[in-house]
């Protein structure tokens, strides 16, 4: 048995969730007749204070539906340099919507006016029209950081006053809400569209949702069909999502406490560098002193001691992610394994392979 800290996407449905899935009422969602999907879409639209929602397969699909909804071929979107849409969605904006991506260096994956000022292109035949601004909350590669509400409102006002549409990649929106004590509705308010994942911290086997105005969601539904993602008896996964909204949101606080505990435990390990104060949600990024070995080698050494986590870009960076399938004891065991790896040495270990 491994301690799984690679991602919250590795969670397995609980027995109670499986029971709800087994009893789900279903219909053909392609024609709007799956009652469980309809209930989920209505619930999420209400939770986020928007008119409508479209259930779909994945966070990537939600985000790409949003890009297609807001942009036309030849347009450009702005995003922080580490953003998922720019780096981890297989070139989706270019491939699916003909949209180019401009990455802007921000602060732990977050953008503020100071980063955005001067990034808009003036109307000119030479330039792609800048159409859309995408933010991420909580950030992933940015370090699991969250936005203060005032910053979201400030950036939202800036985007609107410059004629931009605004999309939020809220794959871990409920983590952000939990960390800041804001409501999902408050976090969603500045945005035209918001994507939320059920298959991460909420522990569902699959599913994501895009939320926004009725007009935008009609267009997003067309994108879902165009991208081959229209669904049939999707009440089966949707039932798990409804269950997770009721039972798996409040417990995200445990994941955040466990992430903080892990960071605190490893902060005293010689050769490991971690900013404990920067751990806001369920993601812990840390660096290994490269003279002791690479992040990839350290991940392999940990695997051999029963702990799984991802190398996270660069030669020295790793990521640990807490979730509902790892408890306090697991986190303490993982930290002890990391201490043992550093003490024993791992440079040149066999089988080291790439990561996230
Ligand atoms: C911030 C963020 N957005 C989007 C996604 C994409 O989700 P999926 O893997 O379901 O496509 C992820 C996945 O890790 C993510 O971390």
| Residue 275, pLDDT score | 98
- Other Cβ atoms closer than 10 A to 1: 5
Report whether residue 140 contacts ligand 1, using a CB cutoff of 6 Å: yes
Report whether residue 145 contacts ligand 1, using a CB cutoff of 6 Å: no
Nearest residue (by CA) to ligand 1, atom 8, is: 59
Collapsed DSSP state (helix, strand, coil) of residue 212? strand
Report whether residue 297 contacts ligand 1, using a CB cutoff of 6 Å: no
Report whether residue 171 contacts ligand 1, using a CB cutoff of 6 Å: yes
DSSP 8-state assignment for residue 10:
G
Question: And the tokens for 265?
Answer: 């435990």
| Residue 352, pLDDT score | 80
Report whether residue 197 contacts ligand 1, using a CB cutoff of 6 Å: yes
Instruction: Tell me if 256 sits within 8 A of 282, measured CB to CB.
Output: yes
- The pTM of this model reads 0.97
Report whether residue 82 contacts ligand 1, using a CB cutoff of 6 Å: no
| Residue 240, pLDDT score | 98
- Cα–Cα distances in angstroms (integers) from residue 5 to residues 129, 205, 283, 320, in the given order: 41, 17, 9, 5
Question: And the tokens for 248?
Answer: 């798996």
Query: Angle, nearest 10°, between helix axes 235-247 and 15-22?
Result: 140
Residue 197 Cα: closest atom of ligand 1: 10
Instruction: Tell me if 60 sits within 8 A of 90, measured CB to CB.
Output: yes
Domain boundaries, the chain: 13-247, 251-344
Residue 91 region by backbone torsions, left for phi larger than 0, else alpha for psi between -120 and 50, else beta: left
The one-digit pLDDT tens for each residue of the chain (356 residues) are 899 999 999 999 999 999 999 999 999 999 999 999 999 999 999 999 999 999 999 999 999 999 999 999 999 999 999 999 999 999 999 999 999 999 999 999 999 999 999 999 888 999 999 999 999 999 999 999 999 999 999 999 999 999 999 999 999 999 999 999 999 999 999 999 999 999 999 999 999 999 999 999 999 999 999 999 999 999 999 999 999 999 999 999 999 999 999 999 999 999 999 999 999 999 999 999 999 999 999 999 999 999 999 999 889 999 999 999 999 999 999 999 999 999 999 999 987 876 55
Domain 13-247 in this protein, CATH class? alpha beta
Q: Which ranges of the chain does DSSP label H, i.e. alpha helix?
A: 15-22, 35-48, 59-70, 84-87, 92-97, 113-116, 149-161, 173-180, 184-188, 214-226, 235-247, 252-266, 295-304, 328-344
| Residue 351, pLDDT score | 79
Instruction: Tell me if 266 sits within 8 A of 324, measured CB to CB.
Output: no
Ligand 1 pocket, mutate which of 55, 57, 59, 167 (most atoms under 8 A from CB): 59
Report whether residue 139 contacts ligand 1, using a CB cutoff of 6 Å: no
> What are 304-346's pLDDT values in tens digits?
999 999 999 889 999 999 999 999 999 999 999 999 999 999 9
Domains 13-247 and 251-344 share a fold: no
Alpha carbon distance 81, 83 (integer Å): 6
What CATH fold (topology level) applies to the domain 251-344? 3.90.1150
Ligand 1 pocket, mutate which of 10, 60, 96, 199 (most atoms under 8 A from CB): 60
| Residue 355, pLDDT score | 54
Distance 197 CA to ligand 1 centre (A): 7
Distance 59 CA to ligand 1 centre (A): 5
Report whether residue 60 contacts ligand 1, using a CB cutoff of 6 Å: yes
Residue 63 Cα: closest atom of ligand 1: 4
Cα radius of gyration rounded to whole Å, the chain: 21
Ligand 1 pocket, mutate which of 81, 88, 145, 196 (most atoms under 8 A from CB): 88
Distance 83 CA to ligand 1 centre (A): 10
Residue 247 region by backbone torsions, left for phi larger than 0, else alpha for psi between -120 and 50, else beta: alpha
Distance 344 CA to ligand 1 centre (A): 35
- Other Cβ atoms closer than 10 A to 334: 27
Distance 292 CA to ligand 1 centre (A): 31
Report whether residue 245 contacts ligand 1, using a CB cutoff of 6 Å: no
Distance 319 CA to ligand 1 centre (A): 15
- Cα–Cα distances in angstroms (integers) from residue 340 to residues 130, 262, 328, 335, 345, in the given order: 50, 15, 19, 9, 8
Alpha carbon distance 21, 192 (integer Å): 31
Question: And the tokens for 145?
Answer: 């950081």
| Residue 354, pLDDT score | 62
Alpha carbon distance 63, 210 (integer Å): 8
Instruction: Tell me the DSSP string of 120-178.
Output: SPPS-TTSPPEEEEEEESS-TTTTS----HHHHHHHHHHHHHTT-EEEEEETTHHHHHH
Instruction: Tell me if 209 sits within 8 A of 45, measured CB to CB.
Output: no
Query: Angle, nearest 10°, between helix axes 295-304 and 328-344?
Result: 120
């Amino acid at each position: 048995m491994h301690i799984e800290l690679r991602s919250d996407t590795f969670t397995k449905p609980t027995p109670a969730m499986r029971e709800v899935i087994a009893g789900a009422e279903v219909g053909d969602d392609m024609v709007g007749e799956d009652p469980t999907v309809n209930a989920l879409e209505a619930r999420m639209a209400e939770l986020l204070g928007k008119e409508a929602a479209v259930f779909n397969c994945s966070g990537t699909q939600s985000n790409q539906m949003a890009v297609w909804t807001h942009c036309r071929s030849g347009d450009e979107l702005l995003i922080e340099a580490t953003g998922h849409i720019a780096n981890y969605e297989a070139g989706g904006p270019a491939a699916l919507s003909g949209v180019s991506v401009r990455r802007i260096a921000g602060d732990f994956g977050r953008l503020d006016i100071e980063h955005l000022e001067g990034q808009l292109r003036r109307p000119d035949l030479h330039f792609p029209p800048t159409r859309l601004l995408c933010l991420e909350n909580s950030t992933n590669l940015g370090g699991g950081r969250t936005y203060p509400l005032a910053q979201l409102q400030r950036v939202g006002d800036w985007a609107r006053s410059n004629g931009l549409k605004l999309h939020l990649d809220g794959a871990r929106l409920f983590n952000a809400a939990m960390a800041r004590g804001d409501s999902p509705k408050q976090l969603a308010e500045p945005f035209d569209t918001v994507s939320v994942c059920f298959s991460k911290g909420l522990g569902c086997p699959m599913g994501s949702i895009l939320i926004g105005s009725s007009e935008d969601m009609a267009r997003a539904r067309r994108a879902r069909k165009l991208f081959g993602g229209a669904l049939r008896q999707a009440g089966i996964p949707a039932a798990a999502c409804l269950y997770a909204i009721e039972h798996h949101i409040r417990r995200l606080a445990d994941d955040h406490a466990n992430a903080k505990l892990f960071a605190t435990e490893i902060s005293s390990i010689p050769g490991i560098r971690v900013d404990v104060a920067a751990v806001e949600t369920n993601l812990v990024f840390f660096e290994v002193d490269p003279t002791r070995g690479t992040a990839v080698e350290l991940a392999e050494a940990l695997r051999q001691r029963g702990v799984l986590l991802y190398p996270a870009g660069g030669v020295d960076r790793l990521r640990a992610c807490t979730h509902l399938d790892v408890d306090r004891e697991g986190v303490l065991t993982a930290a002890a394994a990391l201490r043992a790896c550093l003490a024993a040495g791992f440079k040149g270990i066999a089988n080291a392979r790439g990561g996230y």
